[in-house]
């Protein structure tokens, strides 16, 4: 919205400026020549209005500069608020937020209108002031030349061509002064665009960053600490190895730092302390481009782009053939529903996949990760929106995809985790336990076996620690997230 607003501001002025500078500049220059030729003394004396005029222009420019900036910011917020309200329209209606949102957007609109009016008022203030100054100059010239004709007896004829030139010069001079104020607005617009263009990415490549040269894809965290904000450490002194070609599962309550861990591995953020290595290469010393092209990622909130389903899967690897795309969709259990769409693979998905269900979006984004064929696979609760049956199928398909790849799975249901080669248990950013399912279950007091008891009772039927097994409850089961550890402490 800011870029748009600013570009419009510049464009409006540019067309006006180019014609005006050429025409008015030349006219004014010529007329000034005539005036000086006719009567140098009068010319100089009529320039006394120069300093107050310049002062006014400079003063107005300064005010316009500040209001323009505020106005662009408020207009952008207004557009942002309207977009947000539209995107969240289902929640707006469900929670009957219409009146409140109308009120807020109305407030922003009023404020934008107010700023717009203010800019107009300030810019227009120049006209009466410059008119008055010009009037004074003309009056002064007429009075003085009358005095010269009547009292000093000089011929009045020459003075008339001088006055004509002066009055003709007035219009172009006024337009040029106005344009100066307008120019100031455009300069603010241009500056604000460059402020955005000049933003530096926070995770820049190191000056001598090398290309990634991964052989097996072993991931190693060495004493990694990280925080988003000063007061709240998220990961603390975290060390583990995700073995090459194996499946490592990460479990922990909501907010434990699981998503943060995979974000750090992709360098969405830089670690605060410690290092992350892949095949012995410190990821902060290789280019982001080559690091990320070795990773396939399914994010916790699947995101689809405007375009067709096929396009969305192909974003995994632009060189993928149609056959590869369909194969990936089959593995992700997505082929069936895709073929039922009106145009099959060529069905547009709408903004952020709005025309698909949550589970369908998730399977398309899994297909996108499969088609990437990267040596490292990161799955962040990738099957959380699927029902048990679909999840089981996707899991089975993923075991083929995982073969020979280093996979880090953030598990939402513990049924996934049971088969992992290695399990890491996070609690509030600390690694509290690690091992295999069997070794962690061996200790009935471990955090991991507590998770299992809680989920087992919820009817997942995967309990093997002697807790009573119930028949599976109908409907979607709860992820461990929503139960938390408090539930198991009872
Ligand atoms: N962008 C962010 N800015 C500030 N804090 C964040 C951000 N993302 C996550 N957090 C905080 O970091 C902690 C870990 O979050 P996350 O890694 O998403 O947990 P998990 O995936 O295990 O549920 C949480 O306390 C969360 O509030
Ligand atoms: Mg998460």
Q: How far apart are CA 385 and CA 361, in angstroms?
A: 9
Helix ranges (H only) for 437-479 are 437-441, 447-455
Pick the ligand that lies closest to the CA of residue 251.
1
Split into its structural domains, the chain has a count of 2
CA of 265 to the centre of ligand 2 (A): 14
Residue nearest to atom 17 of ligand 1 (CA): 257
Q: How far is CA 311 from the centre of its chain?
A: 22
Q: How far is CA 19 from the centre of its chain?
A: 38
Residue 179 in domain: yes
Residue 204 in domain: no
Cβ-contact 480, 253 below 8 angstroms: yes
Q: Is 228's C-beta closer than 6 angstroms to any atom of ligand 1?
A: yes
E strand residue ranges, 118-230: 219-229
pLDDT attached to residue 17: 76
Half-sphere exposure of 416 (CA within 13 A, CB side): 32
Cβ-contact 188, 65 below 8 angstroms: yes
Q: Is residue 20 located within the same domain as residue 156?
A: yes
Residue nearest to atom 7 of ligand 1 (CA): 228
Q: Is residue 191 located within the same domain as residue 223?
A: no
Going by their DSSP bridges, the two strands 406-410 and 376-380 should be labelled as: parallel
Q: How far apart are CA 233 and CA 226, in angstroms?
A: 6
CATH number at residue 122: 1.20.1560.10
With b meaning 16 or more CB within 10 Å and e meaning fewer, what string describes 100-132? Answer: ebeeebeebbebbeebeebbeebbeebeebbee
Q: Is residue 288 located within the same domain as residue 184?
A: no
Tokens of 170: 């007035």
pLDDT attached to residue 484: 38
Pick the ligand that lies closest to the CA of residue 260.
1
Residue 406 in domain: yes
Among 441, 461, 477, the domain boundary falls at 441
Residue nearest to atom 12 of ligand 1 (CA): 234
Q: Is 229's C-beta closer than 6 angstroms to any atom of ligand 1?
A: yes
Residue 436 in domain: yes
Q: Is residue 149 located within the same domain as residue 226?
A: no
Per the structure, the complete domain to which residue 244 belongs is given by 219-294+374-441
Ligand 1 atom nearest 258 alpha carbon: 22
Query: What does the DSSP 8-state code read for residue 345?
Result: G
Q: Is residue 236 located within the same domain as residue 193?
A: no
pLDDT attached to residue 466: 37
Cβ-contact 88, 112 below 8 angstroms: no
Q: Is residue 54 located within the same domain as residue 188?
A: yes
Q: How far apart are CA 155 and CA 42, in angstroms?
A: 15
Residue 43 in domain: yes
The shares of helix, strand and coil residues in the chain, as percent rounded to the nearest 5, are: 60, 15, 25
Q: How far apart are CA 418 and CA 250, in angstroms?
A: 11
- Other C-beta atoms closer than 10 Å to the C-beta of 270 total 13
Q: How far apart are CA 490 and CA 468, in angstroms?
A: 16
Tokens of 229: 């904000």
pLDDT attached to residue 456: 67
CA of 259 to the centre of ligand 1 (A): 7
Q: Is residue 415 located within the same domain as residue 275?
A: yes
Query: What does the DSSP 8-state code read for residue 466?
Result: S
Cβ-contact 410, 348 below 8 angstroms: no
Residue 388 in domain: yes
Q: Is residue 192 located within the same domain as residue 265?
A: no
Ligand 1 atom nearest 256 alpha carbon: 22
User: Which is nearest to 304 in space by CA: 233, 377, 363?
Assistant: 363
CATH number at residue 416: 3.40.50.300
Q: Is 230's C-beta closer than 6 angstroms to any atom of ligand 1?
A: no
**What is the residue-level pLDDT of the chain in tens, covering all 490 positions?**
888 888 888 887 787 777 778 888 899 889 989 888 888 888 887 777 788 888 888 888 888 888 889 998 999 899 989 998 998 899 999 999 999 999 999 999 999 999 889 888 888 888 888 888 888 888 888 888 888 888 887 777 777 888 888 888 888 888 888 888 788 888 888 999 999 999 887 778 888 888 988 888 999 999 999 999 998 899 999 999 999 999 999 999 889 999 999 999 999 999 999 999 999 999 999 999 999 999 999 998 889 999 999 999 999 999 999 999 999 999 999 999 999 999 999 999 988 888 898 889 999 999 999 999 999 999 998 888 888 887 887 887 788 888 889 999 998 777 778 889 999 999 999 999 999 999 999 988 899 988 888 876 554 433 333 333 343 444 444 444 433 333 333 3
Residue identified by tokens 């490549």 is 205
Q: How far apart are CA 12 and CA 29, in angstroms?
A: 26
Residue nearest to atom 3 of ligand 1 (CA): 228
Q: How far apart are CA 425 and CA 19, in angstroms?
A: 70
């Amino acid at each position: 919205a800011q870029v748009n607003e600013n570009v419009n501001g510049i464009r409006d002025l540019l067309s006006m400026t180019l014609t005006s500078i050429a025409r008015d500049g030349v006219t004014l220059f010529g007329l000034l020549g005539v005036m000086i030729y006719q009567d140098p003394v009068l010319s100089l004396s009529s320039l006394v209005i120069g300093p107050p005029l310049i002062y006014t222009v400079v003063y107005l420019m300064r005010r316009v500069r500040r209001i323009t900036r505020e106005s662009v910011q408020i207009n952008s917020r207004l557009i942002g608020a309207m977009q947000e309200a539209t995107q969240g329209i289902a929640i707006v209606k469900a929670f009957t937020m219409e009146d409140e949102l109308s009120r807020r957007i109305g407030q922003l609109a009023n404020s934008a209108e107010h700023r717009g009016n203010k800019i107009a008022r300030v810019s227009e203030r120049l006209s009466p002031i410059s008119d008055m100054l010009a009037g004074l100059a003309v009056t002064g010239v007429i009075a003085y030349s009358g005095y010269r004709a009547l009292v000093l007896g000089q011929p009045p004829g020459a003075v008339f061509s001088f006055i004509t030139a002066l009055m003709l010069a007035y219009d172009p001079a006024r337009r040029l002064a106005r344009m100066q104020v307008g120019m100031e607005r455009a300069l603010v617009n241009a500056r604000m665009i460059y402020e955005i263009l000049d933003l530096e990415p926070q995770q820049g490549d190191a000056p001598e960053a090398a290309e990634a040269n991964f052989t097996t894809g072993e991931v190693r965290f060495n004493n990694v600490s990280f925080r988003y904000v000063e007061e709240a450490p998220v990961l603390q002194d975290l060390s583990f190895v995700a073995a090459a070609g194996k499946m490592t599962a990460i479990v922990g309550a909501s907010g434990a730092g699981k998503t943060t861990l995979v974000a750090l591995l992709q360098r969405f953020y830089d670690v605060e302390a410690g290092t992350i290595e892949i095949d012995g290469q410190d990821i902060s010393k290789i280019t982001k481009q080559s690091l990320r092209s070795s990773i396939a990622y399914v994010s916790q909130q699947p995101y689809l782009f405007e375009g067709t389903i096929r396009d969305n899967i192909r974003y995994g690897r632009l060189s993928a053939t149609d056959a590869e795309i369909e194969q990936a969709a089959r593995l992700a259990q997505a082929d069936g529903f895709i073929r039922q769409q009106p145009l099959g693979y060529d069905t547009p998905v709408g903004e952020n996949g709005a025309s698909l269900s949550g589970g369908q979006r998730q399977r398309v984004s899994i297909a996108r990760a499969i088609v990437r064929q990267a040596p490292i696979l990161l799955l962040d609760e990738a099957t959380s929106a699927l029902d048990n049956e679909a999840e089981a199928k996707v899991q089975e398909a993923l075991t083929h995809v995982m073969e020979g790849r280093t996979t880090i799975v953030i598990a939402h249901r513990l049924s996934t985790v049971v088969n992992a080669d290695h399990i890491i248990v996070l609690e509030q950013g600390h690694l509290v336990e690690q091992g295999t399912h069997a070794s962690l279950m061996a200790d009935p007091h471990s955090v991991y076996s507590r998770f299992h008891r809680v989920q087992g009772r919820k009817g997942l039927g995967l309990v093997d620690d002697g807790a009573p097994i119930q028949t599976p409850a109908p409907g979607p089961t709860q992820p461990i997230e929503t139960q938390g550890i408090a539930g198991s402490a009872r």
